[in-house]
Amino acid sequence: MNARPKKTIPSKTEILEILREGKADLKGQFVLGSNYTFLVQLSHGGKSFQAVYKPQKGEMPLWDFPAESLAARESAAFLVSEALGWELVPPTIMRADGPLGSGSYQFFIVHDPQLHYFSFDDATRDRLRPTALFDLIINNADRKGGHILLDENDHLWLIDHGLCFHAQPKLRTVIWDFSGEPIENELLESLQNLLRDLQAKTEIQQQLSQLLQKNEIDALKSRIKFYIDHPVYPAPDENQRQFPWPLV
């Protein structure tokens, strides 16, 4: 059987330019979830695509995360994914001029909503080691099965990172498939490169400082160093609630 031809999408540079500069037209609202989330059509330079817009003023107040900080964490997750070279998070930026004020814009991933962590075949789930490690270092408090998308080109994408980067341990995830396994050398090398860049206060450090608090960036560096020094995927702590709810 012939393989399905890959669908052409704009380059990452083009996507980021349109996310930053495109005119936004509200097209609809995603009704599932605690925070206001909208589908917008972004148009710029004769090109157009759909994006997910999360206004800061539409965020439900939380006792453990600073008010109106979740959209910035979405953008921070993209920056960390890019710095690692793993291309896990769709292009995401912060903009001040959204239809409902400042918020995050994320390139919309066309996908089959019936395909997610709990319906993936074994071969697809076996590709989730970078995802599992990513969630460990960003301290993801809400990795549900439905937050892992498979696009039309068979690329795995991760969405919904508003509850990440807390300075205190908050990990809650459905992905514990690799507990006890060693972390692969190529993934560790990516961690080492990112830690070096953060410690040297390069561009990624400067960008994250606009989105996260200093103690959160320090905690990020500490988690990265921990898994470099202890390169094993952990098992869930029986004394902590480390699974999200709902699971999908």
What is the length of the chain?
248
**pLDDT reported for residue 224:** 98
What is the SS3 assignment for 162-208?
CCCCCCCCCCCECCCCCCCCECCHHHHHHHHHHHHHHHCCCHHHHHH
Any domain includes 7: no
Going from the C-alpha of 234 to that of each of 11, 46, 240, the distances in angstroms are 36, 48, 13
Question: What does R_g of the chain's alpha carbons equal in angstroms?
Answer: 18
**pLDDT reported for residue 13:** 95
Any domain includes 244: no
**pLDDT reported for residue 109:** 97
In the DSSP assignment, the letter for residue 143 is B
**pLDDT reported for residue 34:** 82
CB 86 within 8 A of CB 119: no
Going from the C-alpha of 140 to that of each of 33, 127, 132, 137, the distances in angstroms are 17, 19, 10, 8
**pLDDT reported for residue 8:** 62
d(CA 21, CA 47): 11
Which residue range(s) make up the domain with 168?
A: 12-229
Any domain includes 103: yes
Any domain includes 239: no
Any domain includes 57: yes
**pLDDT reported for residue 100:** 94
**pLDDT reported for residue 2:** 47
Q: What is the CATH number of the domain that holds 120?
A: 1.10.510
Any domain includes 238: no
Work out how many domains the chain is built from and give that number.
Answer: 1
Any domain includes 172: yes
- Low-confidence stretches of the chain (pLDDT beneath 50): 1-2
